[in-house]
Amino acid sequence: MTVISPHLDMADKRTEIDLEVLNFEFRPQIQRVIVDGCGVHVNVTKPQEGISTDDEGHYLIVNIPSLQQPIQFVECLGGKSKSCEVEGDSTCQQAYREEPFLTLPADVDRYYEARDFKIKKFRIPNGCQCGEGVDLVVSLD
């Protein structure tokens, strides 16, 4: 099938993006550790898509051989922690951080152009915080 686009240089890029963004390979590296009395899973991976915190839109995260965007996820396993100094029933709660990624809109049957590439922020699991059922967001600006 031949793709005809008014932007000939982007027609070739669309084929490259479709194959590399949607079908990339990665090798996750998972570790289980204890941090401040809370159990966590540490995983380095290359996310494929997500919902942006900027506009709550659905985006593909670009990961091609010339542009890799690996990220460390630190998933809190929950439970009670003796090291938490919160009054009452203190537990380990998931904390988050925001990270920017180069993205494309996740529209179906779309021909991408250079102007479609955007930097968008996403909420990433970032370990545990002591709390009473409250998820925390940490912004690293």
Task: Please write the tens of the pLDDT for every residue from 109-131.
Answer: 778 888 999 999 999 999 888 77
What pLDDT shows up at residue 71?
Answer: 92
Over the chain, what is the mean pLDDT?
74
d(CA 34, CA 82): 13
pLDDT band at 135 (very low <50, low <70, confident <90, very high): very low
- Residue 57 CB partners (closer than 8 Å, separation 6+): 51, 105, 106, 120
Given a cut of 70, whether residue 32 has pLDDT beyond it is: no
More confident residue, 11 or 78: 78
Q: Is the dihedral of CA 30, 49, 120, 77 positive or negative?
A: negative
| pTM tops 0.85, yes or no | no
